[in-house]
Amino acid sequence: MNSLKTTVLLAAMTAIFTGAGYLIGGTGGMGIAFLVAAAMNVFSYWNADKLVLRMHNATEVDARTAPGLHGLVAELAGRAGMPMPRVYLIDDHQPNAFATGRDPEHAAVAATTGITAQLPREELAGVIAHELAHIRHRDTLTMTITATLAGAISMLANFAFFFGGSRDSRNNPLGTVGVLLAAITAPLAAMVVQMAVSRSREYAADRGGAEICGNPLWLASALQKIDNAARRTPMASAEGNPATAHLFIINPLSGARMDNLFSTHPATANRVEALRQMAGEGGFAAAPVSPKAPLDQGGSFSGPWSRSGARSGQSSNGTSAHRGPWG
């Protein structure tokens, strides 16, 4: 089913790109756009993950350079029965994360320095588990290629808006009207497709992440904190590459928080409520795990997931810590 959805969605993005080419340059423009879109699909299959990581200036880390984060990803990947993905850090104060890669054997998880500094280990475990669920569901290929094609559609529309297209009726039967239609409608159509790619898959990844980490409330709490922080803290690389926004666990762009037709993410409140309902259903027991290195930022930890002080049932902010399979 995922393979069918991937084919349909990528065909839709290719059709939008080709249609924009027709509106700008007529039959010749459509042919060129189709060839470019086909080439981008092939290129994106093998290289889109590297391109997206480069867009956000992500740096690969390992057990030596970031033992806490790397160990956390390794622990959760082992629990999920998945290959260990590559781990990247993005130097940005906004707490956020995303996953990319064409399949579980060629996947990567990227987290900002803000999220490792601001979230306690339990909540970060929920976030990483969510991204691993995306990888296990094979969402990452579709989402990453869609980001690449959406970016190309936006560039094509911007070109049409600022430089115009062929107004010769022999090349472009719609003339100036076609150029304006391409500039206005193509990015909107691409946005709707991105919404279709992302929104339903976020709920599925939330559920899968809760099952991997063992406690839905950790992810629910993390989503609320990330959403609140993202509203206050702009993310420069995301603002410069808005077509990649749907990759992140929470929309990193300013605005666009509503659960409406043009949002690539469900409303955070809806996701949190769904996770709380999961927690109420129970059945999330998990075996204890061995201690890991503390996170590289945000303080020291006494156990595999919990901050020092969690032994007494208190979180780092003095509130009652969620009890679960990790501590």
Spell out the domain ranges in the chain: 2-307
Range 5-12 average pLDDT: 72
Q: Does 134 belong to an annotated binding site?
A: yes
Can you give the pLDDT at residue 265? 83
- Provide the mean pLDDT of the chain: 76
Q: Is the pLDDT of residue 289 over 60?
A: no
User: In the structure, what pLDDT confidence band is assigned to residue 12 with cuts at 50, 70 and 90?
Assistant: confident
Tens of pLDDT, residues 185-218: 776 676 666 666 666 788 999 999 999 999 999 9
Q: Is the pLDDT of residue 1 over 60?
A: no
Lowest mean pLDDT among 71-75, 173-177, 265-269, 303-307: 303-307
d(CA 75, CA 210): 15
13-19: long-range contacts, CB 8 A cutoff, minimum separation 24: 13/37, 13/145, 13/146, 13/149, 13/150, 13/153, 13/190, 13/193, 14/38, 14/41, 14/149, 16/153, 16/186, 16/189, 16/190, 16/193, 17/149, 17/152, 17/153, 17/156, 17/186, 19/182, 19/186
Range 10-39 average pLDDT: 72
The alpha carbon of 325 is separated from its chain's Cα centroid by a whole number of angstroms, namely: 26
Q: Is the pLDDT of residue 53 over 50?
A: yes
Can you give the pLDDT at residue 86? 97
Residues in the chain: 327
Can you give the pLDDT at residue 3? 62
Can you give the pLDDT at residue 60? 97
Q: Is the pLDDT of residue 101 over 80?
A: yes
Tens of pLDDT, residues 247-280: 899 999 875 444 444 566 888 999 999 999 999 8
Instruction: Please tell me the pTM assigned to this model.
Output: 0.72
d(CA 58, CA 43): 20
User: In the structure, what pLDDT confidence band is assigned to residue 109 with cuts at 50, 70 and 90?
Assistant: very high
Q: How far is CA 76 from CA 103, 125, 159, 305, in A?
A: 17, 8, 44, 11
User: Within the chain, where are the H helices?
Assistant: 2-55, 67-80, 113-118, 121-136, 139-163, 175-213, 216-232, 236-240, 268-281
Residue 283 CB-density burial (10 A; 0-12 exposed, 13-18 middle, 19+ buried) = exposed
Can you give the pLDDT at residue 163? 55
Can you give the pLDDT at residue 141? 75
Can you give the pLDDT at residue 74? 96
Residues contacting 147, CB < 8 A, separation 6+: 48, 52, 194, 243, 244, 246, 247
Highest mean pLDDT of the ranges 218-227, 231-240, 286-295: 218-227
Strands of 59-61's sheet in order across: 59-61, 86-90, 107-112, 97-101
Residues contacting 236, CB < 8 A, separation 6+: 92
Q: Is the pLDDT of residue 326 over 50?
A: no
CB distance 165 to 177 below 8 Å: no
Can you give the pLDDT at residue 87? 98
Range 217-246 average pLDDT: 92
The alpha carbon of 89 is separated from its chain's Cα centroid by a whole number of angstroms, namely: 14
More confident residue, 191 or 39: 39
Lowest mean pLDDT among 69-83, 180-194, 269-283: 180-194
User: In the structure, what pLDDT confidence band is assigned to residue 285 with cuts at 50, 70 and 90?
Assistant: low
Q: Does 322 belong to an annotated binding site?
A: no
Q: Does 265 belong to an annotated binding site?
A: no
Q: Is the pLDDT of residue 219 over 80?
A: yes
* Catalytic-labelled residue, pool 131, 211, 239, 273: 131
Is-catalytic flag, 131?
A: yes
Locate 206 and state its tokens.
């939330």
User: In the structure, what pLDDT confidence band is assigned to residue 235 with cuts at 50, 70 and 90?
Assistant: very high
